[in-house]
């Protein structure tokens, strides 16, 4: 087969997965052109990553919730509320930050467990149960911020999560003005990726499974390496990797590992694929529901912490519409509404698509009203594309 044919076949077979990368690439290119390069500047990319952070962690949790055929509408205001609790814990209860954060995360797990109880035990549809949560947490934010209004957070460590950058290795003369530690991390990531890909390719070949043709494989590796390298270079040229990016990366790595490599991950996808069959296979469907909603609650708390830290304060409006951004990100990232299908990494790309739109349109000075419409159109287009390619694949 010729190179072009190979490329076309590959694109056709994987169009659904590559589609969102292509979409992200197209969106970024368009904004780079329309903003005369401001969009792709180091400064803006860093901002973009930091703004995406709190939606990205929600999207990760939401992916699993939708995979097991549920939905969680309460995550936005739960996040906002728990962000306020973290602020209160530090400001009013004078808890140190390393206690306030775990406490907030634990409360998130608790909130998720309550949702799971309603869904798994009481058999209330998740849509209804979490709509109730949406209202309750909306009210709760108002209650806790009623007397004080916006709560200013003075803690430097806490605020660094949303605004700070990882420290650099001191005393290296080489490449002044470039963040060396970021560079090293980027290079390490590329090396690990390449080793990992080559290993898994070898393994597949040993079992006579279908693998990419050699030249395609190399192109894919070059492309992803260049992408990581490019982003690393951009970040290193500014102030380096932000703490928010580190948090998101860690969350994604952990969840990616769990969903692709572990028994728990398999059980989650089995429950989503066919709950009756999963139960009869000895999987405790209720337990999985508790775990997934519990994790969603914890990630909501994390999202609230990221947001409060970024604003260095807890506000009365924190959390509004986050859930919709997270759900949209998951769907753009290829999660199937019917359950059982969806990747964590896809949802992160989805979140980047949503936030790139916002950021780019802001830079272009487009009004908020048109921004909503544009985002709605992209969501619809993404899902139409998804459904169309899925049908053809059958």
Chain positions contacting other proteins, by CB under 8 A: 203, 207, 209-210, 261-267, 269-270, 273-274, 276-284, 340-341
Measured CA to CA, the distance from residue 55 to residue 191 in angstroms comes to 28
Kindly tell me which of 43 and 392 has the beta carbon lying closer to other proteins.
392
Judged by CB, which is closer to other proteins: 35, or 259? 259
For the four alpha carbons of 309, 313, 319 and 321, in that order, the dihedral sign comes to negative
Sequence-ordered list of residues with C-beta below 8 angstroms from that of 179, at least 6 positions apart, any chain: 165, 168, 235, 236, 237, 238, 239, 240, 241
Please say which residue, 103 or 285, places its beta carbon nearer to other proteins.
285
Pick the closest to residue 226 from 218, 237, 238 (CA basis). Answer: 218
69 class by beta-carbon count within 10 Å (0-12 exposed, 13-18 middle, 19+ buried): middle
How deeply is 223 buried, as exposed, middle or buried, from its count of CB atoms within 10 A (0-12, 13-18, 19+)?
exposed
Nearer CB in complex with other proteins: 41/284 = 284
Our CB check for other proteins shows the closer of 79 and 272 to be 272
- Distance between CA atoms of 325 and 122, rounded to whole angstroms? 28
CB of 272 to other proteins, least distance (A): 9
Residue in 257, 339, 295 with CA at minimum distance from that of residue 111: 295
Q: Which residues pair with 165 in a beta bridge?
A: 242
Q: How near is the Cβ of 57 to other proteins at its closest, in Å?
A: 23
Quote the CA–CA distance of 361 and 381 in Å, as a whole number: 18
SS3 92: coil
Nearest distance, CB of residue 275 and other proteins, angstroms: 9
In the complex, least distance from residue 10 CB atom to other proteins, rounded to whole angstroms: 13
Token duo for residue 2: 């010729």
Kindly give, in sequence order, each residue whose CB lies less than 8 Å from that of residue 354, ignoring residues fewer than 6 positions away.
55, 325, 328, 329, 332, 375, 378
Report the residue number, 174 or 209, with the smaller CB distance to other proteins: 209
- Least Cβ distance, residue 339 to other proteins (angstroms): 9
Minimum Å gap between C-beta 295 and other proteins is 15
CB of 384 to other proteins, least distance (A): 20
Based on CB atoms, which residue is closest to other proteins, 180 or 287?
Answer: 287
| CB nearer to other proteins: pick between 92 and 199 | 199
CB 234 to other proteins: min, Å: 34
If one counts every other C-beta atom within 10 angstroms of the C-beta of residue 30, the result is 14
Question: Which residue, chain included where needed, has tokens 């916006």?
Answer: 150
For 269, the 3-state DSSP assignment is helix
**Please, which residue, 174 or 207, has the CB nearer to other proteins?**
207
Token couple for 221: 């590796």
CB of 390 to other proteins, least distance (A): 11
CA–CA distances in Å: residue 32 to residues 96, 355, 370: 42, 14, 19
What is the distance between the alpha carbons of residues 355 and 49, in angstroms, rounded to a whole number?
9
């Amino acid at each position: 087969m010729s190179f072009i044919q190979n490329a076309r076949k590959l694109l056709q077979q994987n169009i659904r997965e590559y589609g969102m990368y292509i979409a992200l690439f197209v969106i970024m290119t368009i904004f780079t052109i329309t903003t005369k390069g401001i969009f792709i500047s180091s400064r803006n990319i860093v901002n973009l990553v930091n703004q995406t952070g709190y939606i990205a962690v929600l999207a990760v949790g939401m992916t699993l919730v939708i995979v097991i055929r549920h939905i969680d509408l309460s995550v936005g205001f739960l996040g906002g509320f728990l962000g306020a609790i973290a602020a209160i814990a530090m400001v009013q209860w004078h808890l140190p930050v390393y206690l306030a954060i775990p406490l907030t995360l634990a409360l998130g797990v608790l909130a998720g467990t309550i949702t799971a109880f309603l869904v798994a035990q009481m058999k209330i549809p998740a849509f209804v149960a979490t709509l109730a949560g949406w209202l309750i947490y909306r009210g709760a934010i108002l209650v806790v911020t009623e007397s004080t209004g916006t709560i200013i957070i003075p803690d430097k460590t806490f605020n660094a999560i949303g605004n700070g950058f990882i420290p650099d290795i001191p005393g290296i003369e080489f490449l002044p003005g470039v963040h060396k530690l970021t560079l090293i991390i980027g290079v390490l990531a590329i090396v690990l990726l390449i080793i990992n890909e080559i290993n898994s390719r070898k393994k597949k070949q040993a079992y006579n499974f279908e693998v990419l043709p050699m030249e395609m494989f190399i192109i894919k590796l070059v492309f992803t390496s260049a992408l990581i390298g490019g982003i690393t270079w951009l970040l290193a040229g500014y102030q380096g990797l932000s703490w928010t990016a580190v948090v998101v990366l860690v969350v994604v790595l952990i969840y990616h590992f769990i969903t692709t490599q572990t028994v728990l991950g398999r059980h989650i996808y089995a429950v989503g694929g066919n709950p009756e069959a999963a139960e009869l296979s000895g999987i405790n469907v209720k337990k999985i529901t508790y775990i997934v909603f519990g994790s969603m609650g914890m990630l909501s708390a994390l999202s609230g912490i990221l947001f409060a830290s970024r604003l260095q304060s807890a506000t009365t409006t924190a959390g509004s519409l986050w859930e919709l951004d997270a759900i949209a990100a998951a769907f753009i990232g290829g999660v199937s509404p019917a359950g059982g299908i969806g990747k964590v990494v896809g949802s992160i790309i989805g979140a980047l698509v949503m936030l790139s739109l916002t950021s780019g349109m802001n830079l272009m000075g487009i009004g908020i009203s048109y921004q909503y419409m544009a985002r709605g159109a992209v969501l619809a287009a993404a899902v139409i594309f998804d459904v169309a390619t899925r049908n053809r694949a059958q």
